[in-house]
């Protein structure tokens, strides 16, 4: 489903992470520390990312898409393999648009301070307002209006060149 594709991208927007950072991302999803991400943990993460309309079936499909051994959960190696596999795909224009859309859930055409903060807090609960303002000031031509897709695309393409 469309939700599955978007969420899989969101999970893997972790585009150029080191193995240590991939492990940290996995640990965020694996809330109970069991070494595997189950459907209930995936559901909590999705809600935190703003995917409040994901059905149980969508969540099960997401887990199933990543779960290569059929255990019903996503173990670390499966998660890492999926992230590494998707890194190359993450630079396509379609993937850049999908990532932008995750930050702009209300489809306003701009990533606002609140949109940026919501996603940043998922990555790092200690992110402060000053840091969000610095990002907006660095990326947006008019920070008070938010980040447009063109501004987002420019930043993503410049990161690709580094």
| Separation of alpha carbons 44 and 73, rounded Å | 15
Instruction: Give the residue-averaged pLDDT of 89-106.
Output: 77
Tokens describing residue 104: 């702009």
pLDDT at 7: 47
The helix or strand, by DSSP H or E, that contains position 88, with its residue range, turns out to be none
- DSSP code at position 89: G
Q: What is the pTM of this model?
A: 0.48
* All residues at 6 or more sequence positions from 77 whose CB lies less than 8 Å from its CB, including other chains: none
| Separation of alpha carbons 16 and 39, rounded Å | 26
Look at residue 5 and tell me whether its pLDDT is greater than 80. no
The helix or strand, by DSSP H or E, that contains position 74, with its residue range, turns out to be strand 74-75
Chain segment 131-152, per-residue pLDDT in tens: 888 888 888 899 999 999 999 8
């Amino acid at each position: 489903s469309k939700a599955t594709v978007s969420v899989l991208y969101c999970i893997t927007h972790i585009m150029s992470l080191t193995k240590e950072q991939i492990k940290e991302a996995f640990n965020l999803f694996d809330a109970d520390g069991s070494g595997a991400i189950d459907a209930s943990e995936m559901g909590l993460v999705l809600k935190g990312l703003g995917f409040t309309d994901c059905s149980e079936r969508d969540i099960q499909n997401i887990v199933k898409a990543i779960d290569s051994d059929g255990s019903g959960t996503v173990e670390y190696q499966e998660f890492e393999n999926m992230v590494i596999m998707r890194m190359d795909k993450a630079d396509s224009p379609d993937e850049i648009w999908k990532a932008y859309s995750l930050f702009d859930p209300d489809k306003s055409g701009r990533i606002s301070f609140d949109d940026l903060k919501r996603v940043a807090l998922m990555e790092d609960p200690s992110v402060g307002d000053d840091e969000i303002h610095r990002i907006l000031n660095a990326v947006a031509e008019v920070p008070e209006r938010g980040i447009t897709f063109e501004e987002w695309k420019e930043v993503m393409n410049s990161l690709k060149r580094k």
